[in-house]
């Protein structure tokens, strides 16, 4: 739902800004690199110190680069395999930094080994969820399932919870528990999504192999 509706909305909103950058001679790849650097810095500088509110503010400012660079490429008519590869690769780097920042906090001053482990699981499962789709498509399968929790959901749930949890430093009581709840929700949702995609790939693989065998039998019968 987030990919379908929110992405379309923000794409329209950010189109004038993308056009402005193009007029200034900025390339889509530059925006991708700067955006990723900003997300990584925000996550690894602020989150390990427990500064969730300001870390989320910084990350949010840069995370929209994921929409701006693609918008710029479309306006320039330069959509390319390299651009898609770079964008997808750096998305994984940014995701790893966010959940790595949470893990560092809970491994250090946050002093909670269980939530540290949950954060690491969110990091790893997010990478694997993306890999299952990419790998399935690389062997010729459609992988016709999105799953319960995709990248947009993982980021929105985690960042919103982190930002709100950061308000505890400003005197809002009890709100710090939102982040642990969100991490558990993302972990469970990622596991469900991973299972959905693995089951889908297994089914599509069996169907493809059955179709190939049927085609081979048909070819032999025609001889």
Q: Which residues are annotated as a binding site for a CDP-1,2-diacyl-sn-glycerol?
A: 29-32, 70, 74, 80
Q: Which positions make up the binding site for Mg(2+)?
A: 66, 69, 87, 91
Report which of 65, 58, 57 is spatially closest to residue 87, judged by C-alpha positions: 65
Q: Which positions make up the binding site?
A: 29-32, 66, 69-70, 74, 80, 87, 91
Burial class of residue 182 in the structure, from the number of CB atoms within 10 Å of its CB (0-12 exposed, 13-18 middle, 19+ buried) = buried
Is 95 part of the annotated catalytic residue set?
no
Continuous H helices in the chain: 7-23, 28-46, 52-63, 65-76, 81-107, 113-138, 151-165, 178-222
Distance (Å, whole) CA 186 – CA 195? 14
**Residues 42, 158, 179: CA angle, nearest 5 degrees:** 100
DSSP 181-194: HHHHHHHHHHHHHH
CA distances from 51 to 46, 59, 157 (A): 5, 12, 17
Q: What tokens appear for 199 in the block?
A: 């089951």
Report which of 32, 113, 29 is spatially closest to residue 65, judged by C-alpha positions: 32
- Supply the residues annotated as catalytic: 91
């Amino acid at each position: 739902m987030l990919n379908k509706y929110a992405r379309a909305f923000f794409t329209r909103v950010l189109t004038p800004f993308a056009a402005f950058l193009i007029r200034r001679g900025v390339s889509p790849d530059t925006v991708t690199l700067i955006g990723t650097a900003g997300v990584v810095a925000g996550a690894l500088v602020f989150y390990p110190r427990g500064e969730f509110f300001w870390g989320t503010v910084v990350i949010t400012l840069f995370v929209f680069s994921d929409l701006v660079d693609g918008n710029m490429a479309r306006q320039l008519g330069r959509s390319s395999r390299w651009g898609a590869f770079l964008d997808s690769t750096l998305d994984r780097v940014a995701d790893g930094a966010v959940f790595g920042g949470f893990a560092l906090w809970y491994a250090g001053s946050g002093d909670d080994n269980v939530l540290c482990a949950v954060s690491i699981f969110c990091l790893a499962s997010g990478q694997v969820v993306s890999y299952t789709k990419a790998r399935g498509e690389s062997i010729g399968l459609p992988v016709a399932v999105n799953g319960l929790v995709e990248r947009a959901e993982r980021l929105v749930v985690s960042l919103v919870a982190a930002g709100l949890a950061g308000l505890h430093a400003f005197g809002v009581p009890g709100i710090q528990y939102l982040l642990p709840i969100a991490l558990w929700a993302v972990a469970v949702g990622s596991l469900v999504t991973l299972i959905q995609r693995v089951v889908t790939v297994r089914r599509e693989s069996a169907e493809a192999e059955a179709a190939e065998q049927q085609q081979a039998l048909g070819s032999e019968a025609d001889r």
